[in-house]
Amino acid sequence: MYRLLVPIVLLLALIGVSVLSDKPSPRADLVFINSSDVNTLDPQRMSWMHDLRTARLIYEGLVRNDVLSHGFDIEPAVAESWEISDDAVTYTFHLREDARWSNGEPVTAEDFRYSWRRAMLPDLVSDYAAMFMNIKGAQAFYDWRVEQLEAFGEREFASASERQSASYELWEQTKAQFDETVAMRAPDPHTLIIELEKPIPYFMELCAFAVFMPVYEPLVSQYERPDPESGRLIRRPGWTRGGVLISNGPFQLTRWRMKRDMRLEKNPHYWDRDNIAIDSIDIPSVNDPNAGVLAYQTGAVDWIADVTAPYRGEMVAQKLEYLAEHAEQVEQLKAQGLDQFAIDRQLPPDPRAHTHAVSSFGTYFYNFNCKPYLPDGQPNPFADARVRRAFAMCIDKRAVADQVRRLGEPTARTLIPPGSIGGYTSPEGLPNIGDAKDNAEREEIIARSRRLLEEAGYPQDFVVTLSFNKDAGHDLIAQTIAKSWQKHLGIQTRLDQKEIKIFRDELKDKQYMTARAGWFGDYGDPTTFLDINYSTDGNNDRAYNNPAYDALLDRASVELDPEKRMQLLSEAERILVEEDVPLVPIFHYATIYMFDPHRITGLSTHPRTKQNAFLIDVLGDGKGPEQPRPMHAGADADQENES
Amino acid sequence: MMTLILRRLLALPVILIVVYTITLTLAWAVPGSPIENPEKRPKPEVIEQMKKQYNLDSFPRFYFSYLDSATGFEYLRDKLSGELARERQAAIDEGLPAPHRPVFDFGPSLKYDDKTVNEIIADSLPVSVTLGATAILIALVIGTISGVIGAVKPNSIADLSTLSVAMVGISLPSFVTGTVLLLVFSIWLGWFPVAQWGTLRSIALPAFALSLPFAAYIARLTRMGMIESLGADYIRTARAKGNPERVVLIKHALKNAFLPVLSYLGPATAFAMTGSFVIERVFTVPGMGEHFVSAVQNNDYFLIIGVVLVFSTMLIVFNLVVDILYRWIDPRIA
């Protein structure tokens, strides 16, 4: 009889062992849910927003953005001060003496040379390698390395050991080649001199970008070694594990369990540690959007960085209702210049106030294929800019934003979200039926569109195909757009829903007529949006080619006067969204946050949507200054007001 | 007994290599590339580079290089050539912990750059084992008891109600039962935490949700077995000897009726420990089931193979354990 109990005993033993091996740790001072699981903590290989957000917690670059300033000002970080030469190509950074790695070693100029060299190597396939090619000699170094690797692949070796020593030798040569060709010099441990190929007005913005943050050479180099087969540097994972990773930011990584959680503790050696108001951060991995909201409601989570639950539209609607109830007070506070989080903090507490729609540095748009012929060989009506303009004006963008998305997102007339880049003036953009003041204006826009179609010689005898991938509500948006076109232009439409991978391939091969798209900016300069329409750019899915547009971007890239440069770029965007219209901006994205405005402070409302979570202070936890940290004017305030 | 164990253990690597070959072939045939970045498409030369680095451009090269590292040959070579010692020394010289090199290296994850498949499995397998083992334990207790109750008085109200509950347990998909349990016990009553893992309290609800279909199946197996053995001659004999009913039921009838349950327990435990994808999603349990699905979606070859191999090993091992128990509980079989 007792033998029947053996399976039960075995199971109990199994449970006991696995539970004991896995002790929970106390709740961190701040628990937030990132928009997705972190892919990598290797800054040079990052490209995802949630990776970059985490990188800014554990690493620190030469400079950083003051995300709480209206101008998103550049402020000192590892570099205490810097000088820019008159010809704007030589940058001299003075690194602070007390910048430290989390093991107490000083952060030096060599660390930056090492880290940036990693990004410049073809071996590491950094997504953002192109940004480093602005540095003098970087492109030549990259090309040299590619050539050498090709030659190595073709070489014959007598033995395996000879092959191996040759691969090490090539690596030594590569390091020497870098020292010789790339204009990054470190005359002493705390001075870094960088020479650019040509003036890059947004170079300081790049220096604040997480991909430019340093890694600790003695650790990282152990996980990289030349591959005897190909001569390439092979990267092994392992140095980004909790307890192993050594970093120089406000926090250090103590634990990282895949699809489970990440734990950060304050870096005891961080130079600005006294201004960090939290000691520990937990970033649990919650993939189910609904579970995230539930966890927030039970108090297990303090901040959700991207609410994607299907009912978030209702959450935003409730927030608007709450604001409407206090409309008078909100108007007064707005007039005082308070930011949206600071306003929420002044209003009476209410669970509805925990939802926040924050404008994002990204735009949802529709691509027109600009090629003369369609994939099926028929002439493409959208090859004519007049047709594109007509279609663009007749999309009811208001209906998409207010009835489909329902996140309080602004309709878009430009590709770059207005007001997101200091010193840049957005063009007017084409009028749109959704934004018409009254019916008469609406009718006029429709009549104008129809005239454009007639001029172009296109009667209503063609069918427009709208391509989109099948997730995230793109189908509803496509339906709304199709309805607009059918109703106002009398054009037949066909909806073409695709699997994401196939959709992406067709976009790349220009096998579509019109297709949904979206773009998020990487750095605070118009080129981060405008470059994707350059005729030869890898992301020019529209096959758009206007020499005048390219010429404006080319001229801007050599223009030394920042004001003139911005004018050139603004003119380029004007051509893009008013004349040529290879794409129709529909709306600018909003990100939905969840946090208690009376408890959490230090988050930015700037349209660049970049958060430095180390600025967060949990009010009422007895740590830090316990003072709200609202948005402030910042150093460039005067310039900002003019624009 | 020893030959059985020996034979199975010898067969294990052969089976795993067959499983590996089939899995890789299928994974390779799935359209899409593991190195595509959905939002920001990498440049062609970048893709080329990555293909070379991971041998994604050639099936045979990938096949053999993976076999080389996963079977421990690569480790052995580096050990013999002194490469391992060199790495260790280099780390010690810098005052850093020595790089960790597993003997059986299942490769890097193509989706999660920083993680090896070994690490991902080491992070998630204990979670899945805890959840699965608890679920099977609950299923075993609930299932056996309700099965016995049903068999003692067939077609009684008690029998019919346990049978219908069992039917519901089998037919209802776990995302329904899981969500309802979560809603009632976590949200309305607030007895259990949401989206947290680690404490016994957080294990209870997902384990219960996961146990339902298994419990239902065990109940039906037990009931069938019990009804059959209660009609057998030796039960009449046992009763005739004047044994109390409790002893007859448990000692004589259940012992035989339990054997089909036992043989079901092997694969059931393996499935509960690895295939609880839906329950893991609903309750945010950081287990291995998630990787089964997402690895395929991401074309993450290394991870797909890794989890499939772990699952195969568990299936084989649990079946072996069950076979051993079988012979031990019922010596007639040996």
Contact across the interface for A240 and B90, Cβ inside 8 Å: no
Question: What are the tens digits of pLDDT across the range A368-386?
Answer: 988 888 877 788 888 888 8
Q: Which residues pair with A365 in a beta bridge?
A: A517, A585
Where do the DSSP E strands lie in A504-562? 514-520
Is position A42 within any domain? Answer: no
Same domain, A584 and A630: no
Question: What are the tens digits of pLDDT across the range A281-320?
Answer: 999 888 778 888 888 888 889 999 989 888 888 899 899 9
Is position A354 within any domain? Answer: no
Same domain, A81 and A130: yes
Q: Which of residues 523-562 of A touch B (CB under 8 A)?
A: 538-539
DSSP state of A527: H
Confidence of residue A640 (pLDDT cuts 50, 70, 90): very low
Is position A16 within any domain? Answer: yes
Residue A588 or residue B55, greater confidence: A588
Contact across the interface for A47 and B186, Cβ inside 8 Å: no
Distance from CA of B86 to the nearest CA of A (A): 11
Same domain, A415 and A558: yes
With pLDDT > 90 as the criterion, what percentage of chain A qualifies? 30
Is position A450 within any domain? Answer: yes
Predicted ipTM of the assembly: 0.76
Same domain, A384 and A465: yes
Say how far apart CA A143 and CA A138 lie, in whole Å: 9
Same domain, A213 and A268: no
Contact across the interface for B194 and A10, Cβ inside 8 Å: no
Q: At what angle do helices B2-29 and B301-329 cross, to 10 degrees?
A: 150
| Cross-chain CB nearest to B194 (options A11, A295, A504) | A295
Same domain, A269 and A225: no
Say how far apart CA A53 and CA A40 lie, in whole Å: 11
Check CB contact of B242 with chain A, cutoff 8 Å.
no
- CATH at residue A461: 3.10.105.10
Distance from CA of B320 to the nearest CA of A (A): 13
Task: Give the residue from A236, A260, A289 where a domain finishes.
Answer: A236
Radius of gyration of chain A, Cα coordinates, nearest whole angstrom: 27
Q: Which residue of A has its CA nearest to B121?
A: A258
Contacts of B115 in chain A (CB under 8 A): 237, 258
Residue entry with tokens 């339990």: B258
- The encoded tokens of residue A87 equal 């010809």
Per the CB < 8 A criterion, the answer to whether B280 and B292 are in contact is no
Contact across the interface for B123 and A259, Cβ inside 8 Å: yes
- CATH at residue A205: 3.90.76.10
Is position A292 within any domain? Answer: yes
Same domain, A515 and A451: yes
CB neighbour burial string for A150-186, b if at least 16 within 10 angstroms, e if fewer: eebeeeeeeeeeebbebbeebbeebeebbeebbebeb
Same domain, A565 and A604: no
Q: Which residues pair with A497 in a beta bridge?
A: A468
Check CB contact of A624 with chain B, cutoff 8 Å.
no
Residue B43 has a pLDDT of: 62
Is position A52 within any domain? Answer: no
User: Per-residue pLDDT for chain B (334 aa), expressed as one digit of tens each?
Assistant: 788 888 888 888 899 999 999 988 888 887 777 666 554 455 666 677 677 777 777 888 888 888 888 888 888 888 888 878 887 887 777 777 777 778 888 888 887 878 888 888 888 888 888 888 889 999 988 888 888 888 888 788 888 888 888 788 778 887 888 888 888 887 788 787 776 676 777 788 888 888 888 888 888 888 888 888 888 888 888 888 888 877 777 777 787 788 888 888 888 888 888 767 888 888 888 888 888 888 887 788 888 899 899 888 888 888 888 888 878 777 776 5
- CATH at residue A602: 3.40.190.10
| Cross-chain CB nearest to A238 (options B99, B193, B269) | B99
Q: Is the pLDDT of residue A162 over 70?
A: yes
Task: Give the residue from A194, A212, A236 where a domain finishes.
Answer: A236
Residue B144 has a pLDDT of: 87
Confidence of residue A637 (pLDDT cuts 50, 70, 90): very low
Distance from CA of A127 to the nearest CA of B (A): 7
Q: What mean pLDDT value characterizes chain B?
A: 82
C-alpha angle B249-B250-B252 in degrees, rounded to nearest 5: 75
The Cβ-side half-sphere exposure at A379, using a 13 Å CA radius, reads: 7
Same domain, A193 and A282: no
Check CB contact of B330 with chain A, cutoff 8 Å.
no
C-alpha angle A405-A302-B128 in degrees, rounded to nearest 5: 90
| Cross-chain CB nearest to B115 (options A223, A237, A288) | A237
Task: Give the residue from A236, A271, A306 where a domain finishes.
Answer: A236
Check CB contact of A18 with chain B, cutoff 8 Å.
yes
Q: Which residue of B has its CA nearest to A502?
A: B32
SS3 A81: strand
Q: Is the pLDDT of residue A144 over 60?
A: yes
Per the CB < 8 A criterion, the answer to whether B167 and B242 are in contact is no
Residue B257 has a pLDDT of: 80
With pLDDT > 90 as the criterion, what percentage of chain B qualifies? 1
Distance from CA of B104 to the nearest CA of A (A): 15
Is position A54 within any domain? Answer: no
pLDDT mean over A41-53:
87
- The encoded tokens of residue B102 equal 């597993």
Beta-sheet pairing, A191-195 with A90-95:
antiparallel
Q: At what angle do helices B301-329 and B255-274 cross, to 10 degrees?
A: 170
Residue A398 has a pLDDT of: 85
Distance from CA of B155 to the nearest CA of A (A): 27
Contacts of B46 in chain A (CB under 8 A): 125, 127
Contact across the interface for B49 and A122, Cβ inside 8 Å: yes
Residue A638 has a pLDDT of: 42
Same domain, A550 and A632: no
Same domain, A637 and A552: no
Interface-testing mutation among A6, A10, A18, A123, with chain B (most B C-beta atoms within 10 A):
A18
Same domain, A389 and A279: no
Check CB contact of B258 with chain A, cutoff 8 Å.
yes
Question: What are the tens digits of pLDDT across the range A71-125?
Answer: 888 999 999 999 999 888 999 999 999 999 999 999 999 999 999 999 999 887 7
Residue A249 has a pLDDT of: 93
Contacts of A504 in chain B (CB under 8 A): 36, 38, 41
Distance from CA of A351 to the nearest CA of B (A): 16
Residue A596 has a pLDDT of: 93
Distance from CA of B121 to the nearest CA of A (A): 9
Check CB contact of A261 with chain B, cutoff 8 Å.
yes
Contact across the interface for B99 and A223, Cβ inside 8 Å: yes
Residue A639 has a pLDDT of: 41
Is position A634 within any domain? Answer: yes
pLDDT mean over A137-159:
88
Domains of chain B: 125-285+320-329 (1.10.3720.10)
Contacts of A45 in chain B (CB under 8 A): 113
Total number of domains in chain A: 3
| Cross-chain CB nearest to B281 (options A41, A288, A504) | A288
Question: What are the tens digits of pLDDT across the range A316-363?
Answer: 989 999 999 999 999 999 888 888 899 999 899 988 999 999 888 899
CA A452 to each of CA A382, A383, A459, A573, B158: distance values in angstroms, whole numbers, following the listed order: 12, 14, 11, 21, 78
Domain that holds residue A141: 60-236
Question: What are the tens digits of pLDDT across the range B189-244?
Answer: 878 777 667 677 778 888 888 888 888 888 888 888 888 888 888 888 888 888 88
Q: Which residue of B has its CA nearest to A517?
A: B39
Per the CB < 8 A criterion, the answer to whether A248 and A101 are in contact is yes
Distance from CA of B18 to the nearest CA of A (A): 28
